[in-house]
A = this chain, B = another copy of it.
Amino acid sequence: MTDTSHILSRREFVKASAAAAAVAALPGAAFAAAPDKGADTSADKSAVLAEIPKMHAANIRRLQEWIALPSIAAENRNYPQGPEHMAQLARAAGFMDVKIMPTSGKAGVIGRIDAGARTTVGIYFMYDVKQFVPQEWSSPPLEGRLVHKEGLGMVCMGRGAVNQKGPENSFLSALMAFKAADRKLPVNLVLVCEGEEEIASPHFGEVVRSPEILPELKKCIGVFMPEAGQDRDGGVTVSLGAKGVVELELVSTGERWGRGPKHDVHSSLEATVDSPTWHLVRALNTLIKADGHTPAVEGFFEKAKPLTDEQKEMIGAYAARTSEATVKKTLGVEHWVRDVSWLESRMLLESQPTINIEGLVAGYTGPGGKTVLPHRATAKIDMRLVPDMTASDTLAKLKAHLEQQGFGDIEVNMSGGYDPNQIDQNSRLIQVQLATYRRLGTDPQLWPRSAGSWPGYLFTDPPLSLPAGHFGMGHGTGAHAPDEYYLIESTHPKVQGLDGAIASFVEYLYALA
Residues of A within 8 A of B (CB): 8-9, 12-14, 73-75, 130-131, 199-200, 243, 245, 247-249, 254, 258-263, 265-275, 277-279, 281-282, 284-285, 288, 292-293, 331-337, 340, 345-346, 348-375, 377, 380, 382, 384, 415-416, 450-453, 480
Interfacial chain B residues near A131, Cβ < 8 Å? 366, 370
Contact at A199–B368, with CB atoms within 8 Å? yes
Q: Is the CB of B293 within 8 A of A278?
A: yes
Which residues of chain B are near A450, meaning CB under 8 Å? 268
Chain B residues with CB under 8 Å of A268's CB are: 8-9, 13, 243, 349, 354, 384, 450-453
Q: How far is it, in angstroms, between the C-alpha of A346 and the C-alpha of B450 when the chains are bound?
A: 57
- Top-7 shortest CB links A-B: A262-B332, A74-B368, A359-B363, A268-B451, A270-B356, A359-B364, A360-B362
Asked if A358 contacts B352 (CB within 8 A), the reply is no
A375 CB contact (under 8 Å) in B332, B356, B362: B332
Pairwise interchain contact A359-B365, C-beta atoms closer than 8 A: yes
Q: Are B259 and A334 in contact (CB under 8 A)?
A: yes
Does the CB pair A369–B247 fall under 8 Å? yes
Q: What's the Cα separation between A360 and B261 when bound, in Å?
A: 17
Interface contact B369-A331, CB-CB below 8 Å:
no
A407's nearest neighbour on chain B, judged by CB, is B292
Q: Which residue of B lies closest to A242 (CB)?
A: B268
11 A–B pairs (Cβ distance < 8 Å), ordered by A = A9-B266, A131-B366, A260-B333, A266-B452, A272-B348, A275-B357, A278-B288, A356-B373, A358-B369, A361-B365, A365-B365
The answer for the CA separation of A438 and B390 in the assembled complex, in Å, is 71
When distances are taken between beta carbons in the complex, the residues of chain B under 8 Å from A271 are 348-354, 384, 451
Given A8-B269, A357-B363, A359-B363, list of 11 further CB < 8 A pairs? A74-B368, A243-B268, A271-B349, A271-B351, A274-B335, A277-B360, A279-B292, A358-B370, A360-B361, A371-B382, A371-B452
- Please determine whether B374 and A359 come into contact, CB atoms closer than 8 angstroms: yes
Chain B residue at minimum C-beta to C-beta distance from A248? B369
Q: A292 contacts which chain B residues (CB < 8 A)?
A: 274-275, 278-279, 282
Check A199 against B357 for contact (C-beta < 8 Å): no
Q: How far is the CA of A335 from the CA of B260 in the complex (A)?
A: 7
Q: Name the one of B247, B279, B371 contacting A371, with C-beta atoms under 8 angstroms.
A: B247
Query: Which residue of chain B has the shortest Cβ distance to A416 in the bound complex?
Result: B369
Contact between chains at A332 and B384 (CB < 8 Å) = no
B residues near A362, Cβ cutoff 8 Å: 357, 359-360
Distance, CA A9 to CA B271, complexed state (A): 13
Give Cα distance in the complex from A181 to B358, angstroms.
Answer: 65
Asked whether, in the complex, the Cβ of A293 is within 8 Å of the Cβ of B275, the reply is yes
Q: A8-B266, A245-B371, A374-B359 are in contact. Are A273 and B365 (CB under 8 A)?
A: no
- Closest-CB distance, A111 to chain B (whole angstroms): 28
Which of A249, A337, A353 has most B Cβ within 10 Å? A337
- Checking B279, B332, B359 against A261 with a beta-carbon cut-off of 8 angstroms, the contacting residue is B332
A370 contacts B331, C-beta separation under 8 Å: no
**CB closest residue in chain B, given A259:** B335
A269 touches B331 (CB 8 A): yes
Are A480 and B370 in contact (CB-based, < 8 A)? yes
Nearest CB of chain B from residue A402's CB, rounded to whole Å: 14
Minimum CB–CB distance from A22 to chain B (whole Å) comes to: 26
Q: Which residue of B lies closest to A74 (CB)?
A: B368
User: Do the beta carbons of A281 and B284 come within 8 Å of each other?
Assistant: yes
Chain B residues with Cβ below 8 Å from A374 are 357-359
Cα A354 to Cα B267 in complex, Å, equals: 9
A187 CA to B19 CA, complexed, in Å: 84
CB neighbours of A200 from chain B (8 A)? 369
CA distance A373 to B361 in the complex (A): 15
| Docked pose: A368 CA to B198 CA in angstroms | 10
Residues of B within 8 A of A288 (CB): 278, 282
With CB as the reference atom, state the residue of chain B lying closest to A347: B272
Chain B residue at minimal CB-CB distance from A267: B356
Min CB–CB distance A494 → chain B (angstroms): 25
Nearest residue, chain B, Cβ from A375: B332
In Å, the complex CA distance between A348 and B268 comes to 11
